[in-house]
Structure 1
């Protein structure tokens, strides 16, 4: 049962204005400025380095370093300046696009050519790998003085392996100097070298599985010629993240119990012991190379993230005692690096943008915690605009559905006492992903204007164990659609949202659910699809290798399941859509190509359905550029106003014609 969201404030008196028209201090430009993505962090000598996107520099990823105490105006320096852009294209989602040597040199993958480069202080970058058509590198890891990477070679058949790249530059013009270390698997990730440098551990999986379905940790002695190695964990389960301890033990995540827990395994694979097992996940879907959910510490303990709807950092001692560590971050939390008993932790607080923290766990009961970057609103006055998230669940047609409500919140304005607010039901992508329940800048943009937001962790979401994750198996387009409809109906029935003014929004797989819900139900009065899937058959034919067989598990294998693909695809039933639709798409998207959005646009046009289509040049799967983010949030607010009949205070109106795309200018 959903309890009505409190919308009253302690501020008085407050002006009553229609929902959606409230004036707000949260501008689109502020949203773009508060939206950088963190991409890893490292201890480098006495400094701390991290990578982050720079929206105002066309979304490039820069590497920064902290050379003084946090808060000092002179504390942060840029290691990787413009126009260099540290971004990998492996699996299209990239990740692990940089690392650093103990001597303080930066190794990184340059987005434009996918070569690995070396930047030493005071010098210009020099290449470490040659330019090879169709080759991408990522998941970089400097270990024991050696540079390891995941290599992807695209062609008729896409190949993946773990390679060692010479740090002396000898392979810059000679690909033969790059040494392949693994063989025999469709996909590989997360290379880890033992303390003595003799043994490599890595993650491997094969089509048609995704790494969260079935994956295995493999090891090999580098002196042997058995490049395929041997399995020591996983296979029938989804093993994850091999890490060596200082004394040569191997730790991995595995979900043999239904939840990802840390296990200590033998190098022969004949023994496995759970480390402080729990019915929460330490681990998650490996969409991005370089993601780490735990790190061994020098004292024999482990710093780990545990998740059941909400993330928590814990310290697990060498004798299995678990201590919660009160870092502000509660969503998208990762343990980026460890040194001694210190760790770098990234993630998002419940009420602020993403940040990076340094945590000293020498005394886990009294940890030292300091914020390094992000993690708070630059303008302290924003705190009075931030809604208090309310986690709730409903019993849906397929079981319990988890969600988080962000009610309209304003320090000086309230809605009419006789009215209920409009709401946006937000659907995360993946679909094997997780809505963390934190107030993003984009959410704040809406709630501060009198529009509520609800994030749904529909069946199939991660963060609730394997059974919940597998609820979507073979039923994508059914369970996810029913779950978001059930949440919307509960919001209306319990007096939280205006039943006539509930919209649905989502990107990628979330866009598929948006379109599917508009087909299957009339509970939503408007829909926003960001680079969403419209035709499952087209997606299977056009998408990249990483997800080429993803739909085997979500729908069924082709060609045997072709009829199911047709029946589930929103494009097949586009004539049932009557609510206005906003379509947003990047023209360089290789995961969900523009043909998907354009097919549904054409169907809406043919049916005379009010809609707008916006194609963003230079954007891929997810929007990074400042100008794109500004335009996107303004267009979405204007769209909601046009669909629901209110006039937003500070954005240009949007014409919902049915004749063609909207001009960005």
Structure 2
């Protein structure tokens, strides 16, 4: 301690630099197994955020299968996922720039399978018996109406590089949304999920099963589970042809299966075996054999990767150096997953089923940060409105080289996660350590409405968005102030997307915070409900109320309408090609604050969509936010940062 330098919080020099965060970090996505080969997606900020499908051969050789300038990323639901499928060494993927499906065989260039028209494809599965892909299609060809979603088939060996040929066949249509088409092992049955406005899939959806005739069309379709009040997640067929799925019918997302006598629970417990269906291709479990599942579950009693005996329902935990596992794929010999922990960023991990040996195949972050600069997440429970409890991950300031002057308390950065039906993870995020290693305390709030705590907790936000989430963020900050851990006069809040909306509401409708940062946040619900994409176009009906019947609530909970109540500095970050939260949402707010003479800064990014993927923009947004707080709270920066124009300061 005696050797530490004394400097104010916020001004500490840190090895967790923005260059470290962006230049040596990749973002992992969808995993797959094909024989002995292992596949995954790498999102590379250094390549402009391009998604590349990588294959790892048994000898450890890594090979990029998606050549420049291709980008394996679908825009179905705008959030994408399920961007590729692989079968017998042949890759089929959706290309971001034109949203066409392409086939890549070893040693060849990509060949287009779909025509050059306004259609998008996702969540593909190979129907080997009929030599076709079955997938979700989102048709945007009729610009005068909402996009049409359906299940379709496309021949595996088609070739439409000239852009004209169209071999698409519609298998199922008529509902607003479809997902997770999955074939039984013998190819005789197809299951899928479907739902309609105004539901989101975590509100309620249906699981359907149908026979497939020799011509490949659906016959005898029937609903086997789900409804308007039941959320179904990840239907999967066991090797012996039994249909399994995750349902929240008893509050928690538990595993079930379809039997001749109906639906039965496989392992009932107060834990989540599923997660919100924000993107396609999510997988929290898979089959080692007909009698054995490998799965991830999390709940109040803890979380674990485990083997589940499908006959007895017994769970056997697997010892892991990771605190979370996702994108799980398995076969009889090994399982792969994305693993992360409080001290290491994400990794592609292989588990040998026979020996139990773990092998890290690839890390998202090649550089290792000394633990002296890493602040561990501390789970806190704190009281909130109506006598309820909410949850958050708290990170204290930590830097091996520095301490603050005696008596000084750190500024607090409250993070409001996106979604809002999402959650804050305790896994290591260097973007969080960027703040804590410079002397900020951080609290990442799992406000009411977050997933991971059962359906009742998710439903706290029903009709209460802009109220419950704001109250929980404010109460998390108050809890830390009351315990003498942070400076009550230097409370800030930031969030992206839905978290940006909560941020703007918290800055406007409470006086707890002294500054804030909105990353592509919603400021005007009335504009948002008319100017967003299909997937979320009725989302607010559940979060706020039906529109236009409750137009009054949309007005009351929009920060843009109460600028007179907002008097603290705010910085806005916005992608100019964002189709989910258009730039107008930030620009309207900036104009109003500018006119009101409130300190405001605006940092727009050309070419960015919803969430920043390019290295230079990730770097700029972090540094600009730090610069902004340094000017608002009057502390010196350890190193020079490109200034941001702050009006009215």
Q: Deviations over 1:530-551 (max 9, x none)?
A: 0000001110000000001000
The DSSP-based 3-state class of the residue aligned with 2:289 is coil
Partner of 1:45: 35
Partner of 1:649: 638
CA spacing shift, 1:583–1:63, aligned 2, 3 Å: same
The offset of 1:335, in angstroms, is: 3.4
The offset of 1:142, in angstroms, is: 2.8
Structure 1 CA distance, aligned partners of 2:339 and 2:543?
29
Question: Is the 2:112–2:159 Cα contact (8 Å) retained in structure 1?
Answer: no
Question: Is the 1:506–1:513 Cα contact (8 Å) retained in structure 2?
Answer: yes
Question: Is the 1:190–1:241 Cα contact (8 Å) retained in structure 2?
Answer: yes
The DSSP-based 3-state class of the residue aligned with 2:295 is strand
Question: Is the 1:427–1:455 Cα contact (8 Å) retained in structure 2?
Answer: yes
Question: Is the 2:111–2:159 Cα contact (8 Å) retained in structure 1?
Answer: no
Structure 2 CA distance, aligned partners of 1:472 and 1:238?
16
Partner of 2:544: 555
| 2:274 alignment partner, one of 259, 267, 283 | 283
Instruction: Report 1:418-437 matches (<5 A).
Output: 418-437=407-426
The DSSP-based 3-state class of the residue aligned with 2:249 is coil
Structure 1 CA distance, aligned partners of 2:569 and 2:43?
33
CA spacing shift, 1:551–1:381, aligned 2, 3 Å: closer
Structure 2 CA distance, aligned partners of 1:611 and 1:208?
36
Structure 2 CA distance, aligned partners of 1:146 and 1:383?
50
Question: Is the 1:343–1:360 Cα contact (8 Å) retained in structure 2?
Answer: yes
Partner of 1:7: none
Q: TM-score, normalised by structure 2?
A: 0.95
The offset of 1:277, in angstroms, is: 1.2
Q: TM-score, normalised by structure 1?
A: 0.92
Q: Which moved more, 1:234-243 or 1:203-212?
A: 234-243
The offset of 1:520, in angstroms, is: 1.6
Structure 1 CA distance, aligned partners of 2:440 and 2:369?
20
CA spacing shift, 1:256–1:644, aligned 2, 3 Å: same
Question: Is the 2:137–2:149 Cα contact (8 Å) retained in structure 1?
Answer: yes
Structure 2 CA distance, aligned partners of 1:424 and 1:166?
52
| 1:380 alignment partner, one of 368, 386, 392 | 368
Partner of 2:66: 80
Structure 2 CA distance, aligned partners of 1:192 and 1:577?
50
| 1:513 alignment partner, one of 476, 480, 502 | 502
Structure 2 CA distance, aligned partners of 1:341 and 1:46?
9
Instruction: Report 1:222-621 matches (<5 A).
Output: 222-223=212-213, 229-235=221-227, 236-266=229-259, 271-308=262-299, 311-318=303-310, 319-331=312-324, 333-362=325-354, 367-374=356-363, 377-398=365-386, 399-621=388-610
Question: Is the 1:130–1:175 Cα contact (8 Å) retained in structure 2?
Answer: yes
2:112 counterpart of 1:127? yes
Instruction: Report 1:130-169 matches (<5 A).
Output: 130-133=115-118, 135-144=119-128, 146-154=132-140, 155=142, 156-169=145-158
Question: Is the 1:303–1:335 Cα contact (8 Å) retained in structure 2?
Answer: no
Partner of 2:625: 636
Structure 1 CA distance, aligned partners of 2:556 and 2:522?
14
| 2:9 alignment partner, one of 19, 43, 65 | 19
**Pairwise CA RMSD:** 1.9
Q: Which moved more, 1:184-193 or 1:61-70?
A: 61-70
Q: Which moved more, 1:343-352 or 1:278-287?
A: 343-352
The offset of 1:355, in angstroms, is: 1.5
The offset of 1:96, in angstroms, is: 0.9
The offset of 1:186, in angstroms, is: 0.9
Question: Is the 1:458–1:483 Cα contact (8 Å) retained in structure 2?
Answer: yes
Structure 1 CA distance, aligned partners of 2:496 and 2:431?
13
User: Unaligned 5+ residue runs, structure 1?
Assistant: 1-10, 661-665
User: Unaligned 5+ residue runs, structure 2?
Assistant: none
Partner of 1:8: none
Structure 2 CA distance, aligned partners of 1:320 and 1:192?
24
The DSSP-based 3-state class of the residue aligned with 2:152 is strand
Q: Deviations over 1:278-299 (max 9, x none)?
A: 1111111111111111112225
Structure 2 CA distance, aligned partners of 1:464 and 1:227?
38
The DSSP-based 3-state class of the residue aligned with 1:210 is coil
Question: Is the 1:165–1:171 Cα contact (8 Å) retained in structure 2?
Answer: no
Structure 2 CA distance, aligned partners of 1:537 and 1:34?
41
Question: Is the 1:171–1:177 Cα contact (8 Å) retained in structure 2?
Answer: no
The DSSP-based 3-state class of the residue aligned with 1:571 is helix
Structure 2 CA distance, aligned partners of 1:118 and 1:542?
34
Instruction: Report 1:94-133 matches (<5 A).
Output: 94-102=80-88, 104-133=89-118
Question: Is the 1:200–1:220 Cα contact (8 Å) retained in structure 2?
Answer: yes
CA spacing shift, 1:195–1:414, aligned 2, 3 Å: same
Structure 2 CA distance, aligned partners of 1:265 and 1:424?
47
The DSSP-based 3-state class of the residue aligned with 1:248 is coil
Partner of 1:67: 57
Q: Deviations over 1:243-270 (max 9, x none)?
A: 001111000111110011110113x7x5
Question: Is the 2:16–2:369 Cα contact (8 Å) retained in structure 1?
Answer: no
Question: Is the 1:406–1:439 Cα contact (8 Å) retained in structure 2?
Answer: no
The offset of 1:643, in angstroms, is: 1.4
Structure 1 CA distance, aligned partners of 2:565 and 2:410?
26
CA spacing shift, 1:36–1:228, aligned 2, 3 Å: farther
